[in-house]
C-alpha cells in the first residue's frame, strides 16, 4: 500500500530519521513507537507529504509520493493531527464536511453533504452534528477528527498520538474504532506512546530510537530486552488471556 524506502530526514542539520524502510500493507494497523524525540511524529508527517524526505522515497502503490498532486493524495490519505482547539468555532457537521475538501472545487454538493451525514451516523455523532467542536470533550473531538478523515474516503489514515489527553474509556473507544476501520481495509498508521494500548489493538509495530529503526513486525517482536533497551526502563512483561502487557518497574 505505502512503502518507505531508505528514507532519512534532518531538521537544521540534525538527523531525525535515518534509513527507515517499511511496507505498510493494506488493512494493517501499525503503531509507530519510541521514546520522545525518536522521530515518530516526523515519520507521520513525512508519510503525509507535509515534509519531504532528505534521502530515499515514499511510494504509494509503487508511485513516488512526490509525484502525486497534493489534492489527489488527499483523496487517498487522511491525517489526524493531535487534538487541538479551533481558533474560531465550527460545528461538528461543518468540520466533517471539510473532509470532502479534496473533492470540492467551489462549494460542497448534495453528495458531499450526504456522505458527511452518513459518516456522522456511522460514528454516532449525529446527535451533536450542530454543536461547536470547541465545546466537546477531547474524546468526542477526536472522534470528530476521525470522522473528518473518513469523509475524505481515504485508503490510509495517519494519526499523531490519537489517544493523548483522553481518559481511559475514550482511549479504548478510539483505538477500538481504528481497529474496526482497519478491518474494513483501511490502512492505519499511528504514532503512540502507550505501549499497552498499542499491543492490545494494533497488528504491526515499528520501534524507533533516536531516528533509527530498531524493530518491526507483529506482536512477537516485543520482548523485555527490546523495550528495556529502547526506553531505558526496567519492565516486566506478562501475558494474560492471550494479551501482552508491559509493566514499567523503574528507570534503568
Partner 1 sequence: MKERKVLDQYSQFTRRKNTFLVIFLVLIIIIAFVSMLLGPSNIGFKDMMNVFAGKGEGADTQILLRLRLPRILAAIMSGLALSVSGAVMQSILRNPLGSPFTLGISNAAAFGAAFAVIILGAGSMQSGGSDSVLINNPYLITLSAFIWSLVACFLILLVARMRGATPENMILTGIIASSLFMALTTGLQYVADDIELAAIVFWTFGDLSKGGWRELVIQAVILTPVLVYFFRNSWNYNALDSGDETAQSMGVNIYRLRMRGMVIASLATASVVSFYGIIAFVGLVVPHIVRRLIGSDERYLLPGAALTGAAFMLVCDILARTVISPLVLPVGILTSIVGAPLFIFLLVKGIGSSQWK
What is the nearest approach in angstroms of partner 1 to the Cβ of residue 204? 22
CB of 86 or CB of 196, closer to partner 1 = 86
- Based on the shown chain and the rule CB under 8 A, indicate whether residue 94 belongs to the binding site for partner 1: yes
Binder of partner 1 out of 14, 36, 107, 169 (CB under 8 A): 107
DSSP for 133-182, written as a single string? GGGS-HHHHHHHHHHHHHHT--SEEEEESTTTT--HHHHHHHHHHHHHHH
244's CB contacts (< 8 A; 6+ apart) are 199, 219, 222, 237, 238
Total site size for partner 1, rule CB under 8 A? 46
CB of 79 or CB of 205, closer to partner 1 = 79
Binder of partner 1 out of 19, 132, 194, 228 (CB under 8 A): 132
- Based on the shown chain and the rule CB under 8 A, indicate whether residue 56 belongs to the binding site for partner 1: no
Q: 82: burial class by Cβ within 10 Å (0-12, 13-18, 19+)?
A: middle
Binder of partner 1 out of 28, 38, 42, 48 (CB under 8 A): 48
Residue 155 in contact with residue 173, Cβ under 8 Å? no
Closest CA to 34 of 230, 225, 179: 230
- Based on the shown chain and the rule CB under 8 A, indicate whether residue 9 belongs to the binding site for partner 1: no
- Residue numbers at the binding site for partner 1 (CB under 8 A): 45, 48-50, 69-74, 77-79, 81, 84, 86-91, 93-95, 98-99, 101-102, 104, 106-108, 113-114, 117-118, 120-121, 126, 129-132, 135, 148, 152
Amino acid at each position: 500500500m505505502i512503502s518507505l524506502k531508505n528514507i532519512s530526514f534532518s531538521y537544521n542539520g540534525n538527523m531525525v530519521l535515518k534509513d527507515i524502510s517499511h511496507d505498510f500493507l493494506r488493512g494493517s494497523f501499525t503503531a509507530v513507537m519510541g521514546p520522545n524525540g525518536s522521530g515518530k511524529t516526523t515519520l507521520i508527517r513525512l508519510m503525509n507529504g507535509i515534509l519531504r524526505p532528505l534521502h530515499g522515497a515514499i511510494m504509494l502503490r509503487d508511485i513516488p509520493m512526490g509525484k502525486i498532486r497534493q489534492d489527489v493524495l488527499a483523496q487517498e490519505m487522511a491525517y489526524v493531527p493531535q487534538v487541538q482547539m479551533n481558533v474560531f468555532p465550527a460545528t461538528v457537521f461543518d468540520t466533517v464536511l471539510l473532509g470532502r475538501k479534496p473533492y470540492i472545487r467551489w462549494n460542497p454538493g448534495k453528495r458531499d453533504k450526504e456522505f458527511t451525514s452518513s459518516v456522522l451516523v456511522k460514528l454516532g455523532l449525529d446527535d451533536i452534528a450542530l454543536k461547536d467542536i470547541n465545546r466537546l470533550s477531547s474524546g468526542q473531538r477526536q472522534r470528530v477528527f476521525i470522522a473528518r478523515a473518513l469523509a475524505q474516503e481515504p485508503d490510509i489514515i495517519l494519526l499523531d498520538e490519537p489517544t493523548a489527553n483522553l481518559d481511559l474509556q475514550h482511549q479504548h473507544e478510539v483505538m477500538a474504532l481504528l481497529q474496526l476501520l482497519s478491518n474494513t481495509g483501511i490502512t492505519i498508521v499511528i504514532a503512540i506512546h502507550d505501549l499497552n494500548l498499542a499491543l492490545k489493538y494494533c497488528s504491526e509495530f515499528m520501534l524507533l530510537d533516536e531516528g533509527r529503526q530498531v524493530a518491526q513486525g507483529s506482536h512477537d517482536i516485543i520482548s523485555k530486552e527490546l523495550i528495556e533497551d529502547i526506553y531505558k526502563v526496567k519492565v516486566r512483561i506478562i501475558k494474560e488471556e492471550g494479551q501482552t502487557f508491559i509493566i514499567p518497574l523503574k528507570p534503568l
